[in-house]
Amino acid sequence: MTIFDDGIRRLNYVDEGEGPPLVLIHGVGANLQSWDEVARRLVGRFRVIRADLRGHGASARIEGRFSLEAFAEDSVALLDHLGIDRAHVAGFSLGGLIAQCLAVGWPARIDRLALISAVANRTEEERAKVVGRLEMIEKDGIQAVTGAARERWFTEAFAAAHPDRIARRIAELVANDKASYLEAYRVFGQSEMGPRLHEIGHRTLVLTGEFDVGSNPRMARFMHEQIRRSELVILPGLKHSLLAEVPELIAERLEAFLAG
């Protein structure tokens, strides 16, 4: 792993493999390692770049309010640092929202786009749930929202077979300090790219799980309707933990889409 520090941001990243550049962006409370199993299957065909988001993993806990644009600017700055003019971008969860922002704000830097369990066009009920979780985190810390994570993210079969992996995922959440997690979750919960999705002209893969709660099929269909060059894939029986439960399938879908 390497540290990129330009005096404004300090980001931990991994750059491996050869071929067309592919940037993988993780979600709230995770780190670049959440993409490990997918990346391992792709480095034979792509130059895969993964970075810890600000306030996550080994990256610096940057002070102040986070923003969707700031996350996107971090990704652009890393591409500049690596001398990459244009790259494929795949974002998971919050990373999908960041990928949307990149495609709208820096369209010339993006080749193809993959939005995996991303969010768009929340209903009022969904917004109310986000506000409730933010209030819980502000009052009681990250632990206040981790109890429900097992049920919301993982299928019952995976939870029963891999309790150790679920424990590690919860530990990752807790390891991100309260302020950093809260700022990232606020961006995830309150940023809205829905009205601008129609501006995305890139070939785009929209993929989610059938029972994904936070990034649900309704949102995926909305993204598919708004992005004119998009493909929609809804994986049956799966929830939000796609990268952990079916990394080989995600890698296959990504490789087929990016190479097609």
User: What pLDDT does 166 receive?
Assistant: 86
Q: Is the pLDDT of residue 11 over 90?
A: yes
Question: For 91-112, what is each residue's pLDDT tens digit?
Answer: 999 999 999 999 999 999 999 9
Q: How far apart are CA 242 and CA 153, in angstroms?
A: 9
Q: Is the pLDDT of residue 146 over 90?
A: no
User: What pLDDT does 61 receive?
Assistant: 67
Residue type at position 253? R
User: What pLDDT does 202 receive?
Assistant: 98
Domain architecture of the chain: domains with CATH: 2-259 (3.40.50.1820)
Q: Which residues contact 93 (CB under 8 A, 6 or more apart)?
A: 26, 27, 28, 116, 117, 118, 119, 188, 214, 215, 240
The average confidence (pLDDT) of the chain is: 92
Q: Is the pLDDT of residue 64 over 70?
A: no
